[in-house]
Chain A
Amino acid sequence: MSDFWSRFSRNRGAILGLVLLAAVIIVALIAPLIFPKGPWQMVQRPFLTPFATEGLPLGTDTLGRDVAAGLAYGARVSLLVGLVSTLVALAIGVPLGAVAGYYGGWVDEAAMRFTEFFQTIPNFALAIVLVAILEPTLTSITLAIAIVSWPPVARLVRAEVLSLSKREFVDAAQLAGLSNRRILLGQILPNAMSPIIVMASLMVATAILLESSLAFLGLGDPNIMSWGYMIGAARTVIRSAWWLSFFPGLAIVITVLALNLIGEGLNDAMNPHLNRKGRA
């Protein structure tokens, strides 16, 4: 573990990412404490500029709502959607890819054709269609994002399992008389975890972007304050009130960047042999 940590911390970017993400998580957790009135309350005159009014550091939006409160509550939504949709996507992608890679033959064929069916439709288009059909609620949005994000997981896991199942320790396990299920779950999958974890951290970032894009297009849950919603609502006034789209945009950039940096750090830490950048 300390080995892992020392390799991770050798990547400065990863540490920065971790700090940024921790900050976002803390803000999300304590949002109700700092802004007990919630993000929708109209607290002051609309269009107050940032850094001008006491108690409203980031100004107010088109209806006089506190932009800072919106950001804090938006963090909750972004992180929640990102995390849950990634877990769901893993729950679909990992078993499917593992079974396809391990058993091969017609199982593999069927699973991969099924995966390709989803891969041929552009992610975002499919997500829009799903949300539009299901009506935008937090659940349907999370589900839609999960449904469009699992195919790459399935393909990655399948490739990993394919290569691992040719290794000696698998032969050994088979000779020892272990069942296929136990070999897959107990021997192969644990060894395939590192690329999956790296991929998952990047998927959370993509999911946050997807959710924001959907909300931007007006396909967000209308009862939930999210960053994408804030930008979408501010789009019409971007020339007179820049801060309404700037701050939520910045929040998205920071969070997604943090997740990407962490992903890279994890990659360095878990695949030491790759040592891609030839760091000393």
Chain B
Amino acid sequence: MKHLLTTSFLVAAATGAFAQEQGGRLDIVVQPEPPSLMLGLVQNGPTQMVAGHIYESLLRYDTDLQPQPSLAKSWEISEDGLTYTFHLHEGVTWHDGEPFSAEDVVFSADEFLRETHSRLRVSLNYVESITAPDANTVVFQLSEPFGPFINSFEAGTMPIVPKHIYAGTDYANNEMNATPIGTGPFKFEAWEKGSHIHLVKNEDYYLDGKPYLDEVFFRVIPDAASRAVAFETGEADVLPGGSIENWDVARLMEDEDTCSTGEGWEFLAPHSFMWMNNREGPTSDERFRQAVMYAMDREFVRDVVWNGFGKVATGPVSSRTNFYTDDVTDYSHDPDKARALLEEMGYDGEPVRILPLPYGETWQRWAEAVKQNLQEVGIEVEIDSADVAGWNQKTSEWDYDLAFTYLYQYGDPALGTARNYLEDQIEKGSPWNNVEGYRNPELDAKWAEAAVTLGKEERQKLYTEIQQEIVEDAPVAWLLELEFPTLYDCKVQDLVTTAIGVNDGLRDTWIKQ
């Protein structure tokens, strides 16, 4: 009986696959306009959303962060966790007709990205050699069993760039950067600055029948309200997460032709928190920081400011990321506990400044809500203001008391989380490293050990210990696991199928006529 059930399920799945219709055009809003489409050089959100369909990496990840084939059709990891062997698809060509081979992968990872991609370099530091034994095989040899390495093959982390165009050139100034050449399902056609980016179907794509869409337009619409209107009038079919204000998300979702999904952010898992300056002022006292945690009503903010989207963060690791634990100190809203802690430390009413994230109304309201929460327990608060450049400046030069931010997790604590808490990540000039100035040498050792420990259970044990201790110390004030729902016209099918959603998903997307 069980066997029978499985079979009928397979049949159903197969029929589903046949129903996919060819053709059609998709209009997606991209916000803000990307600075460049050369994914090997620029990896910010908008660039990745467009260029993630032009360039590919070896793997993709499903919404449970499990690796799936992309340029590599299969792969093996040796028992000792040191050798990664990838078998590439055959008959893959670049958009300019040149054949793609393992040499392109070696060039991209070992030369191009080592020079241009600082985030990937963290992983590449564990890589001893990258070789191509034959045209369709790539072998990464690691010096230590760096577990998160398997998460490094996403398009924004390791985009494969054409060796025949970039080898021996000045990458940043190569004139081909303006007309990107990749292996992906869509080809670059035109870029009307300030209006749209036009991609067309790659007729020679190596997967039969894919992609289904004929063309994709990424529309640039500078004002959030206008973006919502464009969606309502049908001018745009897809509003990627974060492209309109939360109030409008809730309003548009009421329409029955509008579908929405919160999936597609598992790999990035945007995690919001406030930096708390551990070096000086009241925030240097652990009790003060804990008081801030207790004082904040994060559920209120989730329900009111974020219209119910998101999840209260329990600590440094997102529940969507591997090796998460919720077995940590519980900082539920408790003003009395906060007052008691402040009394214990003898807080003298020295005012603290809050620096909101200059990303629109939602973040401003959030800062105002936190200010009220803190004032209720007796903390003197002033809201600072800064534009994006000023915010970068103030956080990276440590000129703040409390500062809002959110960072991506990249699927593994060693990739997206550790950087904010390690002592060797304390360095002025970056708003993404250990900006708060937390020092805990004992934990540093554990982070280092966890990164190269073999076996999922052993890693989980170490990361659980780390989370428990760090949450107790409260070096930063964790806020919410942000959720950016993607809104789309219900005729659009299979839009979000991967852990980075519309950043690489259009390969499988089709439109029901």
Partners in one complex: yes
Using CB atoms and an 8 Å cutoff, list the residues of chain A in contact with chain B: 40-42, 46, 62-64, 132, 135-136, 218, 221-223, 233, 235-237, 239-240
- Of listed B356, B371, B385, B387, residue having the most chain A CB within 10 A: B385
- CB pair A236–B245 under 8 Å, yes or no, is yes
Query: Shortest Cβ distance from B390 into chain A, in angstroms?
Result: 8
- CB pair A41–B383 under 8 Å, yes or no, is no
Partner of B369, one of A42, A132, A135, A218: A42
- CB pair B248–A222 under 8 Å, yes or no, is no
Q: Closest residue of chain A to B247, judged by CB?
A: A237
When chains A and B are docked, how far (Å) is the Cα of A105 from the Cα of B434?
63
- CB pair A223–B304 under 8 Å, yes or no, is no
- CB pair B364–A41 under 8 Å, yes or no, is no
Q: Does B41 contact A (CB under 8 A)?
A: no
- CB pair A236–B361 under 8 Å, yes or no, is yes
When chains A and B are docked, how far (Å) is the Cα of A136 from the Cα of B361?
16
- CB pair B385–A135 under 8 Å, yes or no, is yes
Q: Does B235 contact A (CB under 8 A)?
A: no
Q: Does B36 contact A (CB under 8 A)?
A: no
Partner of B385, one of A63, A136, A235, A237: A136
Q: Does B334 contact A (CB under 8 A)?
A: no
- 17 A-B pairs within 8 Å (CB atoms) are namely A41-B372, A42-B369, A62-B247, A63-B304, A63-B305, A63-B365, A64-B304, A136-B385, A222-B356, A222-B364, A222-B385, A223-B382, A233-B361, A233-B364, A233-B365, A236-B247, A240-B251
Chain A residues within an 8 Å CB radius of B368: 40, 63, 222
Q: Which of B357-371 contact A (CB under 8 A)?
A: 361, 364-365, 367-369, 371
Q: Does B165 contact A (CB under 8 A)?
A: no
- CB pair A62–B365 under 8 Å, yes or no, is yes
Q: Which of B231-271 contact A (CB under 8 A)?
A: 245, 247-248, 251
When chains A and B are docked, how far (Å) is the Cα of A235 from the Cα of B387?
20
Q: Using a Cβ cutoff of 8 Å, how many contacts connect chains A and B?
A: 50
Q: Does B299 contact A (CB under 8 A)?
A: no
Chain A residues within an 8 Å CB radius of B345: none
- Of listed B225, B305, B372, B386, residue having the most chain A CB within 10 A: B372
Known: A218-B364, A222-B384; 16 extra A-B contacts, CB below 8 A, are A40-B372, A42-B369, A46-B304, A62-B247, A62-B304, A63-B304, A63-B305, A63-B368, A135-B390, A222-B367, A222-B368, A235-B361, A236-B224, A236-B225, A236-B245, A236-B361
Query: Shortest Cβ distance from A243 into chain B, in angstroms?
Result: 15
Known contacts A40-B371, A236-B361; A222 and B304 CB within 8 A of each other: no
When chains A and B are docked, how far (Å) is the Cα of A223 from the Cα of B248?
26
- CB pair B383–A239 under 8 Å, yes or no, is no
Query: Shortest Cβ distance from A38 into chain B, in angstroms?
Result: 9
Chain A residues within an 8 Å CB radius of B390: 135
Chain B residues within an 8 Å CB radius of A240: 247, 251
Query: Shortest Cβ distance from A122 into chain B, in angstroms?
Result: 21
Interface size class of B (residues with CB under 8 A): 20 to 34
The 6 A-B pairs with the shortest beta carbon distances in the complex, nearest first, are A222-B383, A236-B245, A222-B385, A237-B247, A46-B304, A236-B361
Chain B residues within an 8 Å CB radius of A46: 304
Query: Shortest Cβ distance from A93 into chain B, in angstroms?
Result: 29
When chains A and B are docked, how far (Å) is the Cα of A221 from the Cα of B382?
10
Q: Closest residue of chain A to B376, judged by CB?
A: A41
Chain B residues within an 8 Å CB radius of A63: 304-305, 365, 368-369, 372
When chains A and B are docked, how far (Å) is the Cα of A135 from the Cα of B247?
28
Known contacts A42-B369, A64-B304; A236 and B248 CB within 8 A of each other: yes
Q: Closest residue of chain A to B251, judged by CB?
A: A240
Chain B residues within an 8 Å CB radius of A236: 224-225, 245, 247-248, 361
Q: Closest residue of chain A to B305, judged by CB?
A: A63
Q: Closest residue of chain A to B303, judged by CB?
A: A46
Q: Closest residue of chain A to B224, judged by CB?
A: A236
When chains A and B are docked, how far (Å) is the Cα of A136 from the Cα of B387?
11
Query: Shortest Cβ distance from A225 into chain B, in angstroms?
Result: 10
Partner of A132, one of B225, B356, B382, B387: B387
Query: Shortest Cβ distance from B252 into chain A, in angstroms?
Result: 11
When chains A and B are docked, how far (Å) is the Cα of A41 from the Cα of B386?
23
When chains A and B are docked, how far (Å) is the Cα of A217 from the Cα of B234?
29
Q: Closest residue of chain B to A218, judged by CB?
A: B364
Chain A residues within an 8 Å CB radius of B361: 233, 235-236
When chains A and B are docked, how far (Å) is the Cα of A218 from the Cα of B364?
9
Chain B residues within an 8 Å CB radius of A41: 372
Q: Which of B2-41 contact A (CB under 8 A)?
A: none
When chains A and B are docked, how far (Å) is the Cα of A129 from the Cα of B367?
24
Chain A residues within an 8 Å CB radius of B245: 236
Query: Shortest Cβ distance from A140 into chain B, in angstroms?
Result: 11
Query: Shortest Cβ distance from A210 into chain B, in angstroms?
Result: 18
When chains A and B are docked, how far (Å) is the Cα of A42 from the Cα of B304?
11
Query: Shortest Cβ distance from A244 into chain B, in angstroms?
Result: 11
Q: Which of B320-376 contact A (CB under 8 A)?
A: 356, 361, 364-365, 367-369, 371-372
When chains A and B are docked, how far (Å) is the Cα of A222 from the Cα of B385?
7
- CB pair A42–B372 under 8 Å, yes or no, is yes
Chain B residues within an 8 Å CB radius of A223: 382-383
Chain A residues within an 8 Å CB radius of B372: 40-42, 63
Chain A residues within an 8 Å CB radius of B356: 222
Q: Which of B296-330 contact A (CB under 8 A)?
A: 300, 304-305
Chain A residues within an 8 Å CB radius of B369: 42, 63
When chains A and B are docked, how far (Å) is the Cα of A27 from the Cα of B98?
75
- CB pair A135–B251 under 8 Å, yes or no, is no
Query: Shortest Cβ distance from A66 into chain B, in angstroms?
Result: 13
When chains A and B are docked, how far (Å) is the Cα of A96 from the Cα of B149?
70
Q: Closest residue of chain A to B373, judged by CB?
A: A42
Q: Closest residue of chain A to B390, judged by CB?
A: A135
Q: Closest residue of chain A to B358, judged by CB?
A: A218
Chain A residues within an 8 Å CB radius of B304: 46, 62-64
When chains A and B are docked, how far (Å) is the Cα of A46 from the Cα of B367?
16
Q: Closest residue of chain B to A219, judged by CB?
A: B385
Q: Closest residue of chain A to B367, judged by CB?
A: A222
Chain B residues within an 8 Å CB radius of A132: 387
When chains A and B are docked, how far (Å) is the Cα of A222 from the Cα of B369?
12
Chain B residues within an 8 Å CB radius of A237: 247
Q: Which of B77-127 contact A (CB under 8 A)?
A: none
Query: Shortest Cβ distance from B249 into chain A, in angstroms?
Result: 11
When chains A and B are docked, how far (Å) is the Cα of A222 from the Cα of B361?
12
- CB pair A239–B365 under 8 Å, yes or no, is no
When chains A and B are docked, how far (Å) is the Cα of A235 from the Cα of B304?
17
- Of listed A62, A135, A233, A239, residue having the most chain B CB within 10 A: A62
- Of listed B305, B368, B371, B382, residue having the most chain A CB within 10 A: B368
Query: Shortest Cβ distance from A137 into chain B, in angstroms?
Result: 9
Chain B residues within an 8 Å CB radius of A218: 364
When chains A and B are docked, how far (Å) is the Cα of A84 from the Cα of B224?
35
- CB pair A239–B387 under 8 Å, yes or no, is no
Query: Shortest Cβ distance from A188 into chain B, in angstroms?
Result: 44
Q: Closest residue of chain B to A220, judged by CB?
A: B385
Query: Shortest Cβ distance from B113 into chain A, in angstroms?
Result: 37
- CB pair B364–A239 under 8 Å, yes or no, is no
When chains A and B are docked, how far (Å) is the Cα of A26 from the Cα of B509?
62
Query: Shortest Cβ distance from B80 into chain A, in angstroms?
Result: 54
